[in-house]
Amino acid sequence: MSTYKLEKHLATRLKNMTCSAIRDMLKQAGRPGFISLGGGYPDPESFPIDIIRSLRILVKRKYKNSIYQYGRSEGLIQLFEQLIPFFKRTNRSIKATPHTISITTGSQQALAILAMMFIDPGDYIAVETPTYLGALQAFNPFQPRYIELEVDDEGIVPDKLDKTISKYPNIKFIYIIPTFQNPTGKTLSLDRRVRIAKILRKHDVIAVEDDPYSELRYEAEPIPSLQSLIPEKVIHLFTFSKTFAPDFRIGGIVAPPEVCETATMIKQGLDLYTSNYNQAMVTEYLAGGHLEPHLKKIINLYKPRRDLMMSLIDTYFPLEISHTNPLGGMFVWAYSNNSKTIHINTILDEALKKNVGFVPGNPFFARKKNSPFSMRLNFTNQSNSNIEKGIKILGQILHKYL
Amino acid sequence: MSTYKLEKHLATRLKNMTCSAIRDMLKQAGRPGFISLGGGYPDPESFPIDIIRSLRILVKRKYKNSIYQYGRSEGLIQLFEQLIPFFKRTNRSIKATPHTISITTGSQQALAILAMMFIDPGDYIAVETPTYLGALQAFNPFQPRYIELEVDDEGIVPDKLDKTISKYPNIKFIYIIPTFQNPTGKTLSLDRRVRIAKILRKHDVIAVEDDPYSELRYEAEPIPSLQSLIPEKVIHLFTFSKTFAPDFRIGGIVAPPEVCETATMIKQGLDLYTSNYNQAMVTEYLAGGHLEPHLKKIINLYKPRRDLMMSLIDTYFPLEISHTNPLGGMFVWAYSNNSKTIHINTILDEALKKNVGFVPGNPFFARKKNSPFSMRLNFTNQSNSNIEKGIKILGQILHKYL
């Protein structure tokens, strides 16, 4: 009788995979009194429950039984019609047609589809340093080699990007989060977007522009997307997880038609299609004009939390720790380039013991060894008083070790 | 200025991918008067709309705002509790614990996850001939080599399976649909299940048992699953797309704990998690005892359609065409081993012109060249009168060419 040893049978790609540090950490977050500054979560108190209820009634009335039937892999036609004006908002300034939109099951699936579409083992892709760890999780199984793009306070540095592409002309794509970046909260300036568009125009390379956060702007004027500057070379990702509710699982891409067609083919193998009903809910959310007032409400909720978090870090963290000053989004990035001797996991272990969570910086780096002492701090999913408690406790721990 | 040529940049795995023949064909199905015998669709008239409405009220009352928040990659805990008794139904006879269940976004995602988990390019996997084309679509991008398992009226032939595994000891898994198979409607007998369990026990190999249809039995007694005979060597797939509604996108696997853990890790990269709300709807559907009466209703709807379709084929198709006699499920398989000279696509083209659709057999074969002249005919998603019209038209076309 032969037993079965899974380890022996796993595909090679699994060797590059690990569970998300965030999800592992959040398993502890269920404890009573636990203050998680860890996830990239909206505040559930902000979910527009009354609007959702009225939309359910509307969807029931407007859509027939067939809404519960298998649907189109590309997405619901009615949603496409609502997305076109949504994309025209000044924070995106996206030009789209029904042939340049594909709906995905959350924007995480868009990342997985793009990884399947482009990456052969050993292919080069370029990412900001640090970058979104969920993107690394989507890309890793396809075994790319990462090029880390240098970033300063205004985002990636165009001249260095140009040199990088010249050095690696077969690079498959450049993955960037230009607005309120995850994890740093930084924003790529308009001037740099224009220069990067020029660089893309020069080379045979495409950029993936991930934009989950640009609706969550707390100050200053919106900046048009990179897609608006060079739509033929950009795959733009959007999601309604931060501006409606994550659970509808509605995201997608805007991209050249041949990219959308290929994405649809890949999506068929991954999950056939995304729930029509949930797409209809987003459709009617947009059609009913609910986005704008809801954004006002959550911006009023989140902006003071951001302000509070930044000021508490200034007050309670050691001087050695710097932090970013995000104009929007969900995160403040706190870091020190001089604390290599203290391992961030020591701080995390101590914090978890004191019922406070954050995400250590290293999983956000394609090459972990390049990571400074750093932590990603979320300010959207805790009350002001919890943010205050949490940052004070983290400050005490940091003072003890730094 | 450099243009971007997608074709040049695609990953190698895309060369093995094609769009689903079903989905391509169904694009024509929107035409008025079109009779599709093509999809594997339930009848939307069967969807339990009133139950869905009452469940929505219940879910709103029982679950808090946090149901709309990001959820666990493994699945909703409340659903696990309802699944354990569901798995005990005689048609499945599955033993499961919370550590041996993973929820997926439809069972298509389970197939994609297993492909990612096991298949390196060139790896062997074994499939029935013919097999479910959606499984081939999920597996193809990972570039397996297919071993085709010979099938007779009782399903795969155990002795030949034993020889096959002995010949290919590194085979990654055996993919089978033992009950009301897609596309043929055939069922693997209990005797053969017992013999296959013995063969699995002997070898270091695992079976993937896909079971979307076993609740849709129209006659004879249920047969326990292969999983119930050898749970340590079987990954059992389930879905609520056929017994509730496809649009909730709730499926999953029952598998050894280490397989579930790995599946969760892969799922994080694919779409983070499956909608909590939709999982809650399935939870309350099961908890409320709604499955049993709904199954009665759809069995009463589908059984006469199956009977009618089989009798119409006997009446109107040329004698040369044989068909299977499925005891359940959604499909009749009509085929001829003597009609190699007439290409099935000639029949399909003619049928589409006359507003009738079916799925030609060849995409269901891992190696297309082995496919006989064959067609998959769905009887669940058309009225009796449409089934009659459709089969008569197909009969006329077949008589013209055969």
* SS3 state at A347: helix
Report the sign of the C-alpha dihedral through residues A341, A343, A348, A349, in that order.
negative
Rounded CA-CA distance A204/A163 in Å is 14
- At residue B108, the pLDDT reads 98
Q: In angstroms, what separates the C-alpha of B110 from chain A's closest C-alpha?
A: 8
- Residue A163, Cβ neighbours under 10 Å: how many? 12
- Distances in Å between the Cα of A100 and the Cα atoms of A178, A213, A253, A277 are 21, 21, 8, 22
Q: Average model confidence (pLDDT) for chain B?
A: 95
Those residues with Cβ within 8 angstroms of residue A383's Cβ, 6 or more apart along the chain or in another chain: none
Residue A154 neighbours by CB under 8 Å, 6+ apart = A186, A187, A188, A189, A192
For CATH 3.90.1150.10, the residue range(s) in chain B are: 6-47+293-401
Q: B 138-197 residues with CB below 8 A of A?
A: 138, 140-142, 172
Say how many C-beta atoms besides its own lie within 10 A of residue B337's C-beta.
10
CA B100 to chain centre: 21
Residue A280 clears pLDDT 90, i.e. is over it:
yes
Q: The sheet that has B250-254: what strands, in order across it? A: B101-105, B250-254, B234-239, B207-210, B174-176, B124-128, B145-149
Kindly list the distances between the CA atom of residue B375 and the CA atoms of A111, B252, B391, in Å, as whole numbers in the listed order: 36, 29, 12
Cβ contact A278–B276 (<8 Å): no
Compute the radius of gyration of chain B from its Cα atoms: 21
When pLDDT is cut at 50, 70 and 90, the band that residue A402 belongs to is: confident
Q: What is the pLDDT of residues B79-102, one digit of tens each?
A: 999 999 999 999 999 999 999 999
Pairing of strands B207-210, A331-336: unpaired
Closest residue in A to B66 (Cα–Cα)? A44
Q: Tell which CATH classification among 2.40.420.20, 3.40.640.10, 3.40.47.10, 3.40.50.300 matches the domain A66-289.
A: 3.40.640.10
Contacts of residue A239 in chain B, CB cutoff 8 Å? none
Tell me the CATH class for B6-47+293-401: alpha beta
Q: Which of B41, B70, B142 sits opposite A69 (nearest CB)?
A: B41
pLDDT-derived band at B1 (thresholds 50, 70, 90) equals low
pLDDT score for B342: 86
Check: CB of residue A237 under 8 Å from CB of residue A345.
no
pLDDT tens digits, B184-240: 999 999 999 999 999 999 999 999 999 999 999 999 999 999 999 999 999 999 999
Strand B35-36 relative to strand B356-357: parallel, antiparallel, unpaired?
Answer: parallel
User: What's the confidence (pLDDT) of residue A32?
Assistant: 84
- Tell whether the model's pLDDT for residue B340 goes beyond 80: no
Please judge whether B204 and A2 are an interchain contact, meaning their C-beta atoms are less than 8 angstroms apart.
Answer: yes
User: Would you call A249 and B275 a contact, using CB atoms and an 8 Å cutoff?
Assistant: yes
Q: Which helix (H) or strand (E) holds A101?
A: strand A101-105
Residue B213 identity = Y
Residue ranges, comma separated, of all CATH 3.90.1150.10 domains in chain A are 7-47+293-401
Residue where the block lists tokens 């995480």 = A108
Cα separations in angstroms, A10 against B140, B171, B272: 17, 12, 21
Please state which architecture CATH assigns to domain B66-290.
3-Layer(aba) Sandwich (3.40)
Give yes or no for B276 touching A (CB within 8 A).
yes
Could you tell me if A71 lies within 8 Å of chain B, comparing CB atoms? yes
- Classify A359 as helix, strand or coil: strand
* DSSP conformation letters of B199-257: HHHHTT--EEEE-SSTT-B-SS-----HHHH-GGGEEEEEESTTTT-GGG-EEEEE--H
Question: How far does Cα A140 stand from its chain's mean position?
Answer: 16
Tokens linked to A305 = 């939390």
Amino acid symbol at A209: E
Instruction: Judge residue B19's burial from the number of C-beta atoms within 10 Å of its C-beta, 0-12 exposed, 13-18 middle, 19 or more buried.
Output: middle
CA dist., res. A136 & res. A146, Å (int): 10
The interface predicted TM-score (ipTM) is 0.96
pLDDT of residue B339: 79
B15 touches chain A (CB under 8 A): no
pLDDT tens digits along B25-35: 766 767 889 99
Instruction: Give percent above pLDDT 70 in chain B.
Output: 97
Are A44 and B68 in contact (CB < 8 Å)? Answer: yes
- For residues B173 and A6, what is the distance between their CA atoms, to the nearest angstrom? 11
For position B15, what pLDDT does the model report?
A: 81
Mean pLDDT of A180-188: 98
Report the pLDDT value the prediction gives residue B283, as an integer from 0 to 100: 98
Question: Quick one: pLDDT at residue B323?
Answer: 98
CA distance B133 to B332: 15
Q: Is B335 helix (H, G, I), strand (E, B) or coil?
A: strand
**With 80 as the cut, is the pLDDT of residue A21 above it?**
no
Contacts of B58 in chain A (CB under 8 A): none
**Record: contact A272-B134, CB cut-off 8 A:** yes
Q: Which residue matches tokens 């993107």?
A: A135
Q: Which residue has the tokens 């704008």?
A: A292
How confident is the model over A352-362, as pLDDT tens digits? 999 999 999 99
Which residue from A14, A108, A172 is facing B262, i.e. has the nearest CB?
Answer: A14
Say which CATH architecture domain A7-47+293-401 belongs to: Alpha-Beta Complex (3.90)
pLDDT tens string B144-176: 999 999 999 999 999 999 999 999 999 999 999
* Chain A CA closest to residue B119: A11
Report how far residue A324's alpha carbon sits from residue A224's, in angstroms, rounded to the nearest whole number: 22
Of B292, B286, B266, the C-alpha closest to B112 is B266
Look at residues A234, A24, A42 and name the one whose alpha carbon lies nearest to residue A137.
Answer: A24
Residue pLDDT, tens place only, B240-288: 999 999 999 999 999 999 999 999 999 999 999 999 999 999 999 999 9
Q: If you average pLDDT over every residue of chain A, what do you get?
A: 95
pLDDT at residue B2, as a whole number = 77
Tell how strand A373-378 and strand A331-336 pair up. antiparallel
A123/B206 Cβ within 8 A: no
Across the interface, which of A140, A205, A269 has its CB nearest the CB of B137?
A269
DSSP helix/strand/coil, A156: strand
Q: Would you state the structure tokens that stand for residue A244, as one six-digit string?
A: 């409606």
Domain with CATH 3.40.640.10 in chain B: 66-290
Please check whether residue B19 touches A, CB under 8 A: yes
Assign A35 to helix, strand or coil. strand
Joined together, the tokens standing for residue A11 give 């595909």
- Give chain B's end-to-end CA distance (angstroms, integer): 57
Could you tell me if B314 lies within 8 Å of chain A, comparing CB atoms?
A: no
Q: Under 8 Å CB-to-CB from B191, ≥6 apart: which residues?
A: none
Mutating which of B2, B7, B36, B68 best tests the A interface, going by the most A Cβ atoms within 10 A? B68
Q: Is the peptide bond before B130 cis (omega within 30 degrees of 0)?
A: yes
